Structure 1
Amino acid sequence: MERYVLYFSEIDKASLPEVGGKGSSLGEMTKAGYPVPGGFCITTAAYRKFIRSCEEMDELIDLLEGIRHDDLGRIHELGESVRKCLRSHQMPDDIRESILEAWKLTGEDKAYAVRSSATAEDLPTASFAGQQETYLNVRDGERMLHAIRDCWASLFTDRAISYRARSGFGHGRVYISVVVQEMVFPEVSGILFTADPITGRRRTASIDASFGLGEALVSGVVTADHYKVRSGVIVEKRIAKKAVAISPLPEGGTVKKDIPPERQEAQALSDEKIVELARLGEGIEAHYGTEQDIEWCLADGKLYVLQSRPITTLFPVPRIAGDGLHVLISFGHVQMMMDPIRPLGISVLKSFLKFAKPSPESDIVVEAGGRLFIDPTPLLVLRPAQHLAPRILAVMFDERMAASLREVFGRSDFRRAKRIKIGTLIKAALAVLPGIGKAILIVLFADPARGRDYLVASTGQLWIAREREISSVSGPVRIRLIQDGLEKLLPTLFPMVFPYLIAAIPSSRIIHGMLKSQYGEKQGAHMFSRLNRSLPGNVTTDSGLAVGDLADVARKYPEVVDYLRRAKDETFYAGLLEVDGGAEFKRALDRFMDQYGVRSPGEIDITNPRWKDSPALLVPPILSHIRSVGPGEHRERFERGEEDANLAAAEILSDMGKARLGFFKAKAMSRLIHVYRNLMGMREYPKYLIMQQFYVFRQGILGEARSLVEAGILAREKDVFYLSLDELLALEEGHFSGNVGEIVALREKQREQFQKLTPPRVMTSEGEAITGKRQATGEPEGAIIGTPASAGVVEGIARIVLKPEDAKLSPGEILVAPYTDPGWTPLFNSAKGLVTEVGGMMTHGSVIAREYGIPAVVGAENATSLIKDGARIRVNGNEGFVQILD
């Protein structure tokens, strides 16, 4: 027989379906011995019986199931209908009697707080906190019944309906319990987070405290005191002016009262109680095994816990081997791909980067929240590395990363981290010395153009040989071959490519320094930007130009353009051949795919489809190109860029020749420019080679997935993306432990949760996100500050593009994106300017923007949210800021 009431002493965390998140937490803490005021819960069985007795509810819930989370007008209309239905409906007699009996047993003379507790509330992956109603100081049986019915109705507030619709929770599958808890009338109350909710730093208690009931703090009518405690020590204390408090009324309900002026700036909680509260929070966190958001109060000198729920917004902390504070750099920010990576993609990248493992006990690459982080701590503990690493990061990737590292270096617990072994450093130095020697010879004597051509020729057939090798085997042998290939890939490519890159990058720094000395800061940067135009040998730029060629073929045939607007991957080629000009376009597309089809947006994740797999990914940039760029204009623009770069080189050499020791300066600059122009474009080539190999591995893994589906071991081919390479091998060999279907479903759900989290650029092993804010240097008020990446100033309409497959650029528009990787390159033909939230001088977007000659600002934090789609903006690529004009 279903029970309509359960007392806290009968409830634990397994009672979630009956009493919801809040109720199960209170019961769990009561059983664990924490100071929780007593009470009982009206179960979800009571709620289900109540709504079954309301004839209109089934129809109303059916209407809600099809509603969009942003259809606010319809949400309000339906929500009002549901709430009216429930509030006007009579509570069944047996439920009513059970509640009144529990009230009498607990104490008719007591005051109670009546709160909702939904079954999807206060979960580790979602928090519905605050979406339903709370009624305080309820002192009468009839008032209690009325408050309970109002709590049931509050499951259908507009906010709750919208949240469920956005989060994928069915309105008819979320039930509500009601918590009835003895009221404590506190002198002080507030919120305790057992980890800092702003920075994410673990083992740091963050406490807000105010006088009276906590409702004043939660509802925002008072600014609370703020305290932080770490290792039993108060490390921060901010005392607020607390002008009002919410207090109970004798007859029931609450009232807002003014606090006497002499008490308004008094510390709400004593130091002793601050430390005691932090210890209490540590115990609750240890009990649940995760960081907690705790409501608490102080009455008659005793601390009480009123509620505890998981903090759902914290980015997970990776497991780190070793002592001391470790600093972790986001691999996604380095590679311009912040989306969570599926387990197979994580496994592939870890195997690929295995060569960098400094010792058997530690790993330089760690995973958290579906993202990879690089742990360079053993190296960065060394003083010389602390000077060098931020400079390299600022130039190569992101200025905020560099600032973040500097912030961590000064901490005493960071200095206690284990240092890299001298033997490992010597081994690494010996490994790169031959490459450095070859790079010096290239800079001084070699023909860089011939060297570039030789490198392309010597590496171009690698992936064909790999494809032949992988396709000739199957089963466990194929998976082991893929693992071996991944581990050997970088050691194979590194000595071939490294000398050319190391020759180009220092050349760029020397050129930049000489230009600054010759022309000054601004004019020197402008001349350097001109030298970057249309670099030869950049495979990523070439792919963008090739997309422009595809657009020029398509624009000749209106039926092809019309077909592309509605094309789907499943029938892409078959449908294409049915329209006029489709055959010619397909021939051009086949040539493109042969050369560049192994690439895609988010290509570092091997589970993401490549252009070869999903030709529809190319449609948005092709259509944007047709709209915004004239026939052949992209090639003409590239040629003009090449001409301008040559003119800039001639001007520079002429000006330098007139200076003191001009002959020698001009001679050195001429050689440096020759090396730089011919080799800097090769910066994109190593990743292209790696993606060729990844495509071969991807095809091999999908081949195995098809076999496993045919054998009935996997339900779908894509299930293989949620297994590691080792797990896939175990599945092939028949010793996989666990239910593969359940594991895949769990990891799919987990990835959905990871998708909602924003990875930090830099974090510590304590979970603290280090922001590394760039300081303003005279930019206009209200400007969004970033890094100047490509010279020039441009005004235009901002087009916010979060995913390249959703892009629809029109003439004169400025591309504003969270980041760009090579898969975004086709859009650069259509963009008048570029703004990204992540990036530095040498990241993909910056390099391509300079080659295309479009002004760019990168590292402009929160640009996609601060700038509205369609707003008119000014991009200042000289100074590094963006202004919103309209």
Structure 2
Amino acid sequence: MKSHILFFEQVDRSSLRYVGGKGANLGELSKAGFPVPGGFCVTTYAYQDFIATSPEMDTLLNELNELDPNDLTQLRKLGERIRTHLQQLEIPARLRNEIIHAWETVGKEHAYAVRSSATAEDLPTASFAGQQDTYLNIRGQDELLRHIRKCWASLFTDRAISYRAKNGFDHRQVYLSVVVQRMVNPEISGILFTADPVNGNRQVVSIDASFGLGEAIVSGMVSADLYKVKAGKIIHKNISEKKIAIYSLPEGGTVKKDLPPDQQTKHALTDSQILRLAELGKRIEKHFGSPQDIEFCIENGKIFVVQSRPITSLYPLPDISQEPLRVMFSFGHVQMMTDAMKPLGLSVLRTIFPKTVFLEAGGRLFVDPTEVLRTKPGRKILPKAFHHLVDEAFSRAISEVIQRPEFLRVPPKPGFMKSARRFMAPIIKEVWKNLWKRDPKLAKSKVESYIQKKWTEVREDLQGVSGAERLEAVQRQLGHLGKDVLQNLFPYVICFPISFLLLKKTLIRWMGDDKELYQLNKSLPGNITSEMGLQIGDLADLVRELPEVEEYLKHAKDQTFHEGLLNVHGGERFQRAFDDFIAKYGHRCPGEIDLTRPRWREAPTQLVPAILGHMRSVKPKEHRQKFILGEQEALEAARRMMDHAGRSGLKSKWLQRLIEVYRHMGGIREHPKYLLTLILDECKKAIVAEAEELVKKGVLHQTEDVFFLTLDELIQLSKGEFQQNASSLVAERKEEYQWHQTLKPPRVMTSEGEIVTGSPRKDEFPEGALVGTPASAGVIEGKARIVLKPENAHLNEGEILIAPHTDPGWTPLFQSAKALVTEVGGLMTHGSVVAREYGIPAVVGVDDATKKIKDGQMIRVDGNQGFVEILRDKNE
């Protein structure tokens, strides 16, 4: 028989489907011996038997599943109909008797809390908590039965219906249990988080506490005291003015009371209680195996736990020890691609780069430079490098962590400095030669020669083999790639930012400012990504001559893109030009560091918005004319700089050398990523070919399933291992990936899980300004165009591009943009360099720019000082 009633001691986490998240957690706590007031669960079977007595419920649930979640009027009406219907429905006699018997067993003399417990709530990846109702201090059997029925009805509150609909939960598949728990009549109640809910630090226990029942805190009626504990010590106290409290009434129900003035600013908890609570919280966390959000109350000095659930808002941690303290930064922020990645994409990058340094968390990669930062040179150089080369916010955050005593007291690993010097010495020697000895004009041909050689080597190694042997060749080639690029290409490209910093200091010292430097950045010679943007402009100019092709492109589909072109006038001519473009750049795409992303060769329609947008916002041949003009402006800036320095002497030679290095090394700064994406695409072709064979054998359902396996797992699968479990593993990974996509990765975090933002910039800005990093000089006003994905872009003439981030896959849009604002980036990251090259103002690193700025608003972008002002709404 399916039980309608289960007492807490009969319940554990395996009972989730019968008693919901709240009930399962209370059962776990009770069984483990934690101080939980007694009670029982009215199971989901009881709920199902209850609604089965309704002849209307089936029809109502059908209507609910067909409802548009954005139609709030209909949602409210239907929700009210269902709630009213359920509250009028009689509880079957047998079920009613079982509830009364359980109530009498626990003690009918007690008051009870009656709480909803949905089967999908309090899960690690979704929180339904607070969406159904809770009723306190319920006395007597009639009131108990009435409030159980109200709990069942609360499964259909407006907020619960909306949440389920928007998050893809079937209304028929979410059932409700009701937790009936003996009420404690507390002097003090509160919420205990076993990790800091604000910054994510897993070592800090955070406690909110106030007088009376905890509902005053949960409902926001009162500002609770805040206490924080770390390593058994109280590290923070904030005593609030607690003007009111909620208490139980003897006859049932609750009452809100004003607290006397002398109690309002009194500590809710003693130091002893704070430490006892922190210790209790950590024991509960250890039992559940994850950070917990715990409701507690104190009655006559005794602590009771009335609820515990996972904290769902914390960003996941990499699989490393929390101690000693380490610091990590987001690789996605450096690469201008902060989206979650599938397992294959992650494992490929962790094959290219050292797994001990490149760590996985929340579907993203984080780089751990801790060992370098434990050295004095590392603490001096790395934050400055971040400030100038990556993202100013990185520098502030990392500088804050490395100054902490707990970080400084841990020495670097024995022998680390010696091995680092041995590895870096030949690279530094090459950098020095490129900066001061070798002809910068020859760098491009040398770099391109190496790229061609490496690309050929990889292609030849992957040809003529199949199955696990081919995949092992992929793994072998990727395993060498990171070191090869560092030794052969890094000594060239690093000269660009070094010469930038040297020129910046030189110009400020000699000329009083560095304005000429931004002119010098325009139209860098040989920049493969800028050349790609120019060729997009050429394609757009060609489409201007072919109106039928333009109309076709507006509706083209990836699957029939090339065949469809042959059916329109001029299509063959456009296809020849387009094929030439794809032959050189088809391995690229937005988010291209992720091997699993569709390349332009696979999804050519991704380029259509850039082509059509160019036609709308740039005049014919204007992109080429602008590039030539940029070259002239850069040469004129160089002449002015040389005139100021004089045409002879050491001063002149120093400046001339830096200008040449800056221009020519800047022109090849994108080449390493070009090589990386070439190799990734060759490897992807091999992996997809093997995946297709696994689909034919019935091991995988579809080719794309391979993206949810790691490279090691794929090799094992090709050898015939764990094939029967592949489908369930893929399904599990897909679900996890969906969750990862909802997370916002931090720029910098510690091994304790603390998200570190660093102190804000101290400059003076206009009120309400959105502050970032100045990346390309100039001040401009225009209409904001929010673009979350370049393939969905619709830029018009004179519009300002507002994007979460940009990488080379976004470059085609830069010709059309009047200015650039991004949420991620620094002075030397892709978007900043390209913006300077195109001569458009840019502000990068503006937190939540795509949310704070609305599509169509008039804004001012100040690329000199690094802020954005919203001037007026689009409707004003």
Shorter-normalised TM-score: what interval?
over 0.9
Q: 1:391 aligns with which of 367, 384, 388?
A: 384
Q: Which amino acid aligns with 1:629?
A: V
| Contact kept? 1:776, 1:785, Cα under 8 Å | no
Q: 1:509 aligns with which of 496, 501, 505?
A: 501
Q: Compute the displacement of 1:51 (Å).
A: 1.9
Larger displacement relative to structure 2 (664-673 or 175-184): 664-673
| Alignment partner, residue 404 of structure 2 | 411
| Alignment partner, residue 144 of structure 1 | 144
| Contact kept? 2:596, 2:707, Cα under 8 Å | yes
Question: Which whole-Å deviations, capped at 9, do the CAs of 1:846-877 have from their partners, x for residues lacking one?
Answer: 01110111100011112122212221111100
| Contact kept? 1:436, 1:502, Cα under 8 Å | no
Q: Separation in 2 of the partners of 1:284 and 1:427?
A: 44
Residue pairs, 1:531-550, within 5 angstroms: 531-550=520-539
2:114 is the counterpart of 1:118: no
| Alignment partner, residue 696 of structure 1 | 682
Q: Which amino acid aligns with 1:836?
A: T
Q: Compute the displacement of 1:321 (Å).
A: 5.8
Larger displacement relative to structure 2 (413-422 or 90-99): 413-422
Q: Compute the displacement of 1:427 (Å).
A: 4.2
Question: Which whole-Å deviations, capped at 9, do the CAs of 1:418-460 have from their partners, x for residues lacking one?
Answer: 51443x5444434444444344344445332233123213422
Q: Which amino acid aligns with 2:141?
A: G
| Alignment partner, residue 277 of structure 1 | 277
| Alignment partner, residue 380 of structure 1 | 373
| Alignment partner, residue 455 of structure 1 | 447
Q: Separation in 2 of the partners of 1:157 and 1:15?
A: 25
Larger displacement relative to structure 2 (617-626 or 443-452): 443-452
- Of all paired residues, the percent bearing the same amino acid is 51
Q: 1:768 aligns with which of 732, 754, 778?
A: 754
| Contact kept? 2:79, 2:157, Cα under 8 Å | yes
Relative to structure 1, is the Cα distance of residues 672 and 102 closer, same or farther in structure 2, using a 3 angstrom cutoff?
A: same
So what's the TM-score if we normalise by structure 1?
0.96
| Alignment partner, residue 477 of structure 2 | 485
| Alignment partner, residue 39 of structure 1 | 39
| Contact kept? 1:210, 1:242, Cα under 8 Å | yes
2:461 is the counterpart of 1:469: yes
| Alignment partner, residue 55 of structure 1 | 55
| Alignment partner, residue 580 of structure 2 | 591
Q: Separation in 1 of the partners of 2:74 and 2:614?
A: 38
| Contact kept? 1:323, 1:418, Cα under 8 Å | no
Q: Compute the displacement of 1:178 (Å).
A: 0.8
Residue pairs, 1:620-635, within 5 angstroms: 620-635=609-624
Relative to structure 1, is the Cα distance of residues 77 and 641 closer, same or farther in structure 2, using a 3 angstrom cutoff?
A: farther
| Alignment partner, residue 70 of structure 2 | 70
| Contact kept? 1:379, 1:420, Cα under 8 Å | no
- Secondary structure of 1:318's match? coil
Q: Which amino acid aligns with 1:564?
A: L
Larger displacement relative to structure 2 (409-418 or 48-57): 409-418
Q: Which amino acid aligns with 1:853?
A: G
Q: Compute the displacement of 1:816 (Å).
A: 1.1
Q: Compute the displacement of 1:781 (Å).
A: 1.4
Q: Which amino acid aligns with 2:628?
A: E
Q: Separation in 1 of the partners of 2:8 and 2:137?
A: 19
Q: Separation in 1 of the partners of 2:168 and 2:705?
A: 21
Q: 1:779 aligns with which of 755, 765, 770?
A: 765
Q: Separation in 1 of the partners of 2:738 and 2:808?
A: 25
| Contact kept? 2:318, 2:360, Cα under 8 Å | yes
Relative to structure 1, is the Cα distance of residues 488 and 400 closer, same or farther in structure 2, using a 3 angstrom cutoff?
A: same
2:868 is the counterpart of 1:882: yes
Q: Separation in 1 of the partners of 2:548 and 2:361?
A: 47
Larger displacement relative to structure 2 (371-380 or 115-124): 371-380
Question: Which whole-Å deviations, capped at 9, do the CAs of 1:46-96 have from their partners, x for residues lacking one?
Answer: 211222222222222222223344332332232222222222322222222
Q: Which amino acid aligns with 1:752?
A: Q
Larger displacement relative to structure 2 (164-173 or 562-571): 562-571
Residue pairs, 1:248-397, within 5 angstroms: 248-320=248-320, 324-354=324-354, 363-397=356-390
Q: Separation in 2 of the partners of 1:19 and 1:652?
A: 76
Q: Which amino acid aligns with 1:665?
A: K
Relative to structure 1, is the Cα distance of residues 738 and 271 closer, same or farther in structure 2, using a 3 angstrom cutoff?
A: farther
Q: Compute the displacement of 1:322 (Å).
A: 9.1
Q: Which runs of 5+ in 2 are unaligned?
A: none
| Contact kept? 1:399, 1:774, Cα under 8 Å | no
Q: Separation in 1 of the partners of 2:758 and 2:825?
A: 14
- Secondary structure of 1:718's match? helix
Q: Compute the displacement of 1:250 (Å).
A: 2.1
| Contact kept? 1:324, 1:416, Cα under 8 Å | no
Q: Which runs of 5+ in 1 are unaligned?
A: 358-362
Q: Which amino acid aligns with 1:467?
A: R
Q: Separation in 1 of the partners of 2:431 and 2:330?
A: 29
Q: Which amino acid aligns with 2:815?
A: N
| Alignment partner, residue 495 of structure 1 | 487
- Secondary structure of 2:347's match? helix
- Secondary structure of 1:819's match? coil
Relative to structure 1, is the Cα distance of residues 313 and 738 closer, same or farther in structure 2, using a 3 angstrom cutoff?
A: farther
Question: Which whole-Å deviations, capped at 9, do the CAs of 1:355-410 have from their partners, x for residues lacking one?
Answer: xx7xxxxx112111111111111111011210110000111111111111111112
Q: 2:714 aligns with which of 728, 731, 752?
A: 728
Q: Compute the displacement of 1:491 (Å).
A: 2.8
- Secondary structure of 1:329's match? strand
- Secondary structure of 1:770's match? coil
| Contact kept? 1:545, 1:635, Cα under 8 Å | yes
- Secondary structure of 1:543's match? helix
Q: Which amino acid aligns with 1:471?
A: Q
Q: Which amino acid aligns with 2:575?
A: K
| Contact kept? 2:323, 2:751, Cα under 8 Å | no
Relative to structure 1, is the Cα distance of residues 445 and 326 closer, same or farther in structure 2, using a 3 angstrom cutoff?
A: closer
| Alignment partner, residue 633 of structure 2 | 644
| Contact kept? 2:375, 2:411, Cα under 8 Å | no
| Alignment partner, residue 223 of structure 2 | 223
Q: Separation in 1 of the partners of 2:372 and 2:484?
A: 24
| Contact kept? 1:324, 1:415, Cα under 8 Å | no
Q: Which amino acid aligns with 1:783?
A: A
- Secondary structure of 1:221's match? coil
Q: Compute the displacement of 1:105 (Å).
A: 2.5
| Alignment partner, residue 791 of structure 1 | 777
Q: Separation in 2 of the partners of 1:616 and 1:340?
A: 23
2:597 is the counterpart of 1:608: yes
2:824 is the counterpart of 1:838: yes
| Contact kept? 2:443, 2:664, Cα under 8 Å | no
Q: Separation in 2 of the partners of 1:194 and 1:808?
A: 46
- Secondary structure of 2:560's match? helix
- Secondary structure of 2:494's match? helix
| Alignment partner, residue 553 of structure 1 | 542
| Contact kept? 1:345, 1:607, Cα under 8 Å | yes
Q: Separation in 1 of the partners of 2:140 and 2:492?
A: 82
| Alignment partner, residue 563 of structure 1 | 552
Q: Separation in 1 of the partners of 2:255 and 2:564?
A: 70
Q: Separation in 2 of the partners of 1:676 and 1:407?
A: 32
Relative to structure 1, is the Cα distance of residues 557 and 89 closer, same or farther in structure 2, using a 3 angstrom cutoff?
A: farther
Q: Separation in 2 of the partners of 1:420 and 1:594?
A: 47
Q: Compute the displacement of 1:745 (Å).
A: 0.6
Q: Separation in 2 of the partners of 1:242 and 1:24?
A: 33
Q: Separation in 1 of the partners of 2:618 and 2:399?
A: 44
Question: Which whole-Å deviations, capped at 9, do the CAs of 1:250-300 have from their partners, x for residues lacking one?
Answer: 221111110000110000011111111111111111111111000100011
Question: Which whole-Å deviations, capped at 9, do the CAs of 1:478-530 have from their partners, x for residues lacking one?
Answer: 11111110111133333332332233332211111111123324xx2x21111
Relative to structure 1, is the Cα distance of residues 407 and 458 closer, same or farther in structure 2, using a 3 angstrom cutoff?
A: closer
